[in-house]
Structure 1
Amino acid sequence: MIGYGQETDTIPRKHITTTRIANPPVIDGKLDDAAWVNAPIATNFIERKPVNGLLAPDSLKTEVKIVYDNLGIYFGAFMRDPEPDKIQRELTERDNIGNDDFFFILLNGYNDHQLSLEFIVTAAGVQWDSKITNSGEDDSWNAVWYSDVSINNDGWVAEVFIPYSQLRFPKKEVQTWGLNMEREFRRDRRRLSWSHIDNTKGGFLLYDGVLHGIENVETPTRLSFQPYVSTYVADYDGQSEVTVNGGLDLKYGINDAFTLDMILIPDFGQAKFDDKVLNLSAFEVQYDEQRQFFTEGTELFSKGNLFYSRRVGGSPSGYVTLGEDEEVIEDPSSVDLINAMKVSGRTDKGLGIGVFNAVTEKTKAIIENTLTGERREEVVEPLANYNVLVLDQRFGNNNSVSFVNTNVTRNGGFRDANATGAYLSLTNKKNTLSYWAQGEGSWVWDEDTKIGAESSLGVSKINGKHRATLEMSMRTKDYDINDLGYSSTTNYVNYYGYYGYRYLQPKGKLNNLFLNFNLNYERRLDPDLYSNFSFNFNSSFTTKEFVTFGGGFEITPFGTNDIYEPRIDGRHLDEPSYYNPWVWISTDYRKKFAMDATFDWYIYDAKNRNNISVYFTPRYRFSDKWKLYFENNYYINTNDRGYVNYVNDNIEIGERNQFTVETSLESQYIFNNTMSLNLAFRHYYSEVDYGRFFTLNIDGSVLQDGAYDVNHDGTYNSWNIDLSYSWWFAPGSQLTFLYRNSIESYEELAGQSLSGNFDTLFNQPQSNTFSVRVSYFLDYNRIKNWFGSNNSQSFYHQERNKKTGKTVRS
């Protein structure tokens, strides 16, 4: 049964009623099983982009059959293509999409327009999954599901089985789920949706259709284990070490809504390397999280941006105190994680609850007396507990109120911290206006107690060609969430306005157009001081040939009082006004050769002061299996000024030239949809050369300081190579071989020749590591079947596959 319905919010919804089957189909990419014969069919797909609202032509007719049983739900999609030999099917690693046709499914077990689980399979058979909300996608979420594809004379077929254990839905006899499906026709970059998504207003999920007919299914025991074994052979500066690790990740469905994730004896040795840089700014660099446990299922924990997971197992919070004739022999740069767990989920009343907890080890530095040789230990990080609590109540179609609390408790007399936030987000019934308000408080207990606050209030017009936003925000100078979050600028009040114009349909030679205008006015709070006023214009255009380009400019006509660069409260540095034009282009990724390029130029109202950035990232696809990505970035700063020292109550400012080159190369060879070889290389080089030095005056001006003459020149190099082989040998199970080479150098000089710089770099101690890691996914229901469960249907249809000689591929 298929039909249309009308909701109270005036958005029409497509409906389909699925049917129960007695014998499951084999997941082989062919819809020739009896289970599909009388299955209801979802059809009449509608173009979402580039032409929004156009009925799909018969030449691209799409039909999706949907059935279910006691184990899960099945989708059989046929996608007509007038030229099947031209179907795009580039092979990629799991959770990546290249130049591919693909089919995807959105399922919302609570039918609340708020959060859906997204399952994508490409025409090359590669899987991609995520959680999606109206504010974005969380592609770190991974599920274990089954799919296969095939190409025939009329188009291509995607067959999908999603176990109930991977879904979330209320414990009810009769289920009503939100559903949408889309198809990508890559040759025309055309996206077709089953339930039409109107791009004039509202969020993506507001246009879900409705799936009926699932009745009397029991939620399975959601318990899975992922044991792992890893070994590392590491060599550094001639010293070799071999280690063997073993551990377990556990996932348990406490009930139909909530899931416990736990990591026992963690191992993050194969996490991607950080893109380290020479940092001259007043703030630390915020690196991306690379550890899988911390990147998965972050939808709830990202509320309010109070949780920066790199703090857990990051740098020690304490410092070494050296006595006379002492030096540090071992100074740990990170803290070991003992274990971590998180509980998250959402009730059928829309209440989302997230709890995170982690414990890190006591960490010590080793100090040696250079005269006596005597050594001692000093604790730089005690045993510490990290905790996050999130409550997020959704209501209406796109409204929520949230509460977030983070807490760090360290043993002994070390620093403790707490941060709390409350957040309100509202959208009117017509989905044309969005309102938000938030307030946060931070408390830090160290030698002194420090209390800070942050708040913001805003409204946006979110429909039509014309969009607009008004927002006011502020932070007090003692706002500090850096024990478990990340904050940089403080002590400000900011007023922001935005107007945007966009094409809702292709026009002339363009598929889309975006014009954006932004005004920003900022003052220091305590003591009051003008800080910055800027006007920004940026644009984006996409042609009918799918070349995207744009540009813009930014101007600060009154200059800036920089309250952060002096590194001392109450002081500021006068910065001249600037004019900043930029242009960029991104060519069509359907072509074998494509590139992205950007030119960005800050022109200051000061003699010979410029900041130029050039980004050039070409890519070439040799075949559907082999591709090469190259990235080269140049940064040139001339006559820049910044903090260098604090001496005798004077803030010393240096005038400097900085030149930076960042080169990255990545090559992938994908053998099939479960096996890949990946090479990643990065070299980062940055040198800074100081000329004159100045003393900062109270009024923000500077006075040349002839007495200060300290060398602050420097050259920093970071070199990394990763070569990895990965094989998904079973659903959710992976074998990885990784070779890693890394070198780092810093010299207090500038102006070296190219050969001299590399000589210096390669004379540094190198780190070489070879590692092997095997993880295996074990589902409780499958284990139960191994030991003779009386379940008449073998889990994942093993017995049926044996009889037919067919196999299930992930």
Structure 2
Amino acid sequence: MRCLIPLICLFLIITTTKGIAQSSKKEIPKRSYTTKRIENANPPEIDGYINEPIWDLVPYTTNYTQLQPDIGAPPTEQTKMKIIYDASYIYVAFVCLDQDPDGIEKRLSRRDGFAGDWVEISFDSYNDDRTAFSFTLTAAGVKADEFISNNTRFDETWNPIWYTKTRIDDFGWTAEIKIPLSQLRFNNDKDQVWGLQSKRFYFRNRERSLWQEIVPNAPGYVSEFGELRGLNDLTPQKQLEIQPYVVTQLDTYESQAGNPYRDGSDARLNAGLDAKIGITNDLTLDLTLNPDFGQVEADPAAIALDGFQIFFKEQRPFFVANSNIFDYDLDDQTSDNLFYSRRIGRSPQRSVRDPEVVYTDSPQNSTILGAAKFSGKTKNGWTLGLLESLTDKEFANILRTDNTEQEVLVEPLTNYIIGRAQKDFNDRNSYIGVIATATNRKLEPQLEFLHRDAFTGGIDFKHNWNARKYYIEGNTIISNVQGNEEAITRTQRSLTHLFDRADATHLSIDTTRTSLTGTGGNLEIGKASGGNFTGSLGTSWKSPELELNDVGFLRQADLITQYANLQYTLLNPTQTFRNINVELEQQSVFDFEGNYNRIQYNLESFLRFNNTWEASFGINHKPRIISNTELRGGPRLRFNQENVHFLFINSDTRKKITYGAGYVFSQATQNNFSYFRLEAGLEYQPLDALSLSFFPEYELSPNKTQYVSTTNYNGTKRYILGNIDQKTLSATLRLNYSVNPNLSIQYYAQPFVSKGEYTNFNRINNSTAKDLNNRITLFAPNQISETETGYEIDENVDGTTDYRFSNPDFSVVQLRTNLVVRWEYVPGSELFFVWSQGANGNNDPDNTLFNALDNQVIQKQLNNTFLIKATYRFLL
């Protein structure tokens, strides 16, 4: 604990001072704009010309100030804004002055691209200082929209219906916006006050300016908004939208002789429905029946040699929308969460393994029969969410050696429920929330290795004080899983828990248990704003019995983590730098037995120069690294202390050609392991409508103590390790062409190849010894011999094989590509044309990375998917 004392003292000094260096005592008044209602007159035509007499109802508001780079200073070019409304719409007009109209950047992109010059308006229509609806329009006429939650979290997946038009003239560019009130949420008070903010991005200087000035290093975004007044007699619009879809799909692939499930092609026709129903003016019900996610981009390729599951972000629209309401992070250090929506529709969890089975046809994902989501925020400060989804039972078709076919159940009928509520109080400076999840499966005998029921619950809170400068936040959770003895024993043995860990005195397998209950939590206190320095102190814990992976995500249980963070932020530019951010972090990790497993220190920095080039660099020192999972149930394994450094540099993104490169290098003492990653990137914008990017990446990760296998020798466990030489090569290629703001063509490709070759096999001798030579014992040449399928060990050299293990060498090749044509033919209604190609294969590890790509991709028939999907959005 002595290593924590300097950090704690420094944190206390920073949080108790009134600010140093560039901190400002400037009091910034809250701005107010008064709009007016259109009465007995025609509304403005949305054509980009702000010349109708109706706009004379209200004056322009202006006097924007810089947010970046020189906070509070006048912008290079000023902006003017007007707002009017009627019973159904709110109208916004912008005049973006520019002395050089020819220099206005009019880059086209898909929706939410934020390319080139743009202007934005945001409404905190709940006036809760936490949530807002944001509408952005680029000079090229491309729309972007975001739902803002928790004061700082931006959700770009929110896609409301609204109407826009831009024009470029001799004075700069203008924009008109028409937003249906049905797309917003607000209360039914006769006279309303909304939070209001507007932002402009001036591309040539990479300059952001705001209508409502904010203090340096502000504690949030929405809480700093100005006010929109004059909203009288608004009638809340109960939203009703129905969006049916139809999709046709053809899959082609290399046929396999004798396999009736791989005849070369499959075709299907499908249909479904999404609906959005306004239950009240501020609560919405989303429904989806037989949802289709065919146009979603594939997950990036990855290999996890540590055995843990890989976290992939959600990309399906139904689950992404309003996902912030259901979010319940256990801490900021991991991806652990009580709700991980990718569990819904997951791959079937039973694999058919039978020597009598010749061929298998198993579904890739569980069918989502339907899902409903009730969510919103009331005027009383309640944030509410309830999600339910039902997935169908899934069967695999199998062909046996006697040429008989059979359907085998591989996933049960499953129901998922997630409930979430938060309540604001203390003038919206505090909140308290609860969450509960339930997973219920209808199990049949062949699937009783799964949990029958799984429940989680949690309480979270946050309190801000002193103008949101300081905060304390935390959460606590409890989980309970139920099933037969096999299911609960399987959970205890899983890598997440490892109750059978060889040296754990606080854990043991109980094969008679039919339930498991665990807890976890997090507590953090910090300084969020005011002056150049911010920081936090926190701790989190996850008991050995905690289990979330039925509808949540938990990588590892049995952890107690302590962390500290100090951050310096440059508030105003200097002669050299626009931005400087320096962060010092410290983290310690223990298990519930009290073992001190990890300590690390990180010093990282981000710099943006006045020419808008960027650089980030850092150093990490890890003097203590002990893993209680590396040996898959064996004793804790020490790794030598590690030192890491990295550097990344990116050029001026305002140019037609931008580029960047960087590296990460780590080295452990005694060459226990090392890691080297080299990245590069090139982006080219030859036309406003066309952009291309290419990002290759190369990794080297040798390790003398990579886990291989566990076996028995004379009644004792032998943990076999090897010296792996792993190389990985990947690249990401993107091409975007926009015919207009509503019609775009996108191409994405990612080749990936990784190979690992093992030498110098060894066994654990003293797993926690500081000296690597005492930790492991190499097999002598007369103890190990290679066979066609693996290795045989004669440990006592008596001429008899004592144990054997398979050859762990590997070479994995993947290719994923997508060509997507997207046409929004009317607002909210889309037509997709999709062509996907892919390949997955194993190659000879003796081949080079490029030969592996050639053998498994170039010289083989690729899998193809052709898809056409049409949606139409009815506003009722």
Q: Which residue of 2 aligns with 1:103?
A: 119
Q: Which residue of 2 aligns with 1:382?
A: 412
Unaligned 5+ segments in structure 1 are 1-8, 781-810
Residue by residue over 1:763-798, the C-alpha shift from the partner in whole angstroms, topping out at 9 and shown as x without a partner, is: 555311111111111100xxxxxxxxxxxxxxxxxx
The letter of the residue matching 1:577 is Q
Q: Which residue of 2 aligns with 1:603?
A: 667
Matches within 5 A, 1:396-475: 396-412=427-443, 413=448, 414-415=450-451, 416-446=453-483, 447=485, 448=488, 449-463=515-529, 464-475=531-542
Stretch moving more, 699-708 or 82-91: 699-708
Q: What percentage of aligned pairs have identical amino acids?
A: 28
Instruction: Find the partner of 1:182 among 183, 189, 199.
Output: 199
- TM-aligned CA distance change 1:135 to 1:174, over 3 Å: same
Q: Distance in 2 between matches of 1:10 and 1:547?
A: 33
| Residues 1:269 and 2:294 are matched in the alignment | yes
The letter of the residue matching 1:598 is G
Instruction: Find the partner of 2:269 among 222, 244, 249.
Output: 244
* CA contact 1:17–1:40 (8 Å) conserved in 2: no
The letter of the residue matching 1:528 is G
The letter of the residue matching 2:70 is V
The letter of the residue matching 2:185 is R
Q: Which residue of 2 aligns with 1:290?
A: 315
Instruction: Find the partner of 2:747 among 674, 679, 686.
Output: 679
Q: Distance in 2 between matches of 1:264 and 1:492?
A: 40
Q: Distance in 2 between matches of 1:759 and 1:514?
A: 46
Instruction: Find the partner of 2:584 among 511, 514, 517.
Output: 517
Matches within 5 A, 1:634-713: 634-648=698-712, 649-697=717-765, 699-700=767-768, 701-705=775-779, 706=784, 707=793, 708-713=804-809
User: What is the deviation of 1:129?
Assistant: 0.4
| Residues 1:577 and 2:641 are matched in the alignment | yes
User: What is the deviation of 1:249?
Assistant: 0.7
User: What is the deviation of 1:528?
Assistant: 2.5
Stretch moving more, 146-155 or 242-251: 242-251
Q: Which residue of 1 aligns with 2:389?
A: 358
Secondary structure, aligned partner of 2:33: strand
- TM-aligned CA distance change 1:572 to 1:303, over 3 Å: same
- The two structures have a TM-score, normalised by structure 1, of 0.91
Matches within 5 A, 1:88-127: 88-98=105-115, 100-127=116-143
- TM-aligned CA distance change 1:640 to 1:208, over 3 Å: farther
The letter of the residue matching 1:143 is P
- TM-aligned CA distance change 1:640 to 1:53, over 3 Å: farther
* CA contact 1:64–1:75 (8 Å) conserved in 2: yes
- The two structures have a TM-score, normalised by structure 2, of 0.85
Unaligned 5+ segments in structure 2 are 1-25, 256-263, 330-336, 489-514, 769-774, 785-792, 794-803
User: What is the deviation of 1:762?
Assistant: 4.6
Q: Which residue of 1 aligns with 2:34?
A: 17
Q: Distance in 2 between matches of 1:81 and 1:419?
A: 55
* CA contact 1:744–1:764 (8 Å) conserved in 2: no
Let me know the Cα RMSD of the aligned residues.
1.9
Q: Which residue of 2 aligns with 1:718?
A: 814
- TM-aligned CA distance change 1:431 to 1:221, over 3 Å: closer
Q: Which residue of 2 aligns with 1:150?
A: 167
Instruction: Find the partner of 1:205 among 193, 210, 222.
Output: 222
Instruction: Find the partner of 2:86 among 63, 69, 82.
Output: 69
| Residues 1:310 and 2:342 are matched in the alignment | yes
Q: Distance in 1 between matches of 2:253 and 2:698?
A: 31
- TM-aligned CA distance change 1:737 to 1:654, over 3 Å: same
Residue by residue over 1:507-557, the C-alpha shift from the partner in whole angstroms, topping out at 9 and shown as x without a partner, is: 1211111111111111122x3212111111001111111111021100112
The letter of the residue matching 1:535 is Y
Q: Which residue of 1 aligns with 2:841?
A: 745
Residue by residue over 1:51-92, the C-alpha shift from the partner in whole angstroms, topping out at 9 and shown as x without a partner, is: 1111346xx222111100011110011111111111111001
Q: Which residue of 1 aligns with 2:627?
A: 562
The letter of the residue matching 1:746 is N
Residue by residue over 1:92-139, the C-alpha shift from the partner in whole angstroms, topping out at 9 and shown as x without a partner, is: 1111112x1111011011211110001000011000001113232111
* CA contact 2:85–2:91 (8 Å) conserved in 1: yes
Q: Distance in 1 between matches of 2:618 and 2:278?
A: 49
Instruction: Find the partner of 2:69 among 42, 45, 50.
Output: 50
Secondary structure, aligned partner of 1:666: strand
User: What is the deviation of 1:343?
Assistant: 0.7
* CA contact 2:753–2:849 (8 Å) conserved in 1: no
User: What is the deviation of 1:258?
Assistant: 0.5
Q: Which residue of 2 aligns with 1:539?
A: 605
User: What is the deviation of 1:747?
Assistant: 3.5
Q: Distance in 2 between matches of 1:254 and 1:608?
A: 61
| Residues 1:730 and 2:826 are matched in the alignment | yes
* CA contact 1:666–1:679 (8 Å) conserved in 2: yes
* CA contact 1:46–1:196 (8 Å) conserved in 2: yes
* CA contact 2:363–2:395 (8 Å) conserved in 1: yes
Q: Distance in 1 between matches of 2:749 and 2:610?
A: 35
Secondary structure, aligned partner of 1:299: helix
Stretch moving more, 71-80 or 263-272: 263-272
Q: Distance in 2 between matches of 1:23 and 1:579?
A: 68
Secondary structure, aligned partner of 1:485: coil
User: What is the deviation of 1:641?
Assistant: 2.8
Residue by residue over 1:430-486, the C-alpha shift from the partner in whole angstroms, topping out at 9 and shown as x without a partner, is: 221111111111212133312221111111112210112111111112222111111
Secondary structure, aligned partner of 1:551: strand
Q: How many residues align?
A: 764
* CA contact 2:760–2:778 (8 Å) conserved in 1: yes
User: What is the deviation of 1:11?
Assistant: 6.3
Q: Distance in 2 between matches of 1:221 and 1:502?
A: 44
- TM-aligned CA distance change 1:384 to 1:501, over 3 Å: same
| Residues 1:300 and 2:325 are matched in the alignment | yes
Secondary structure, aligned partner of 1:36: helix
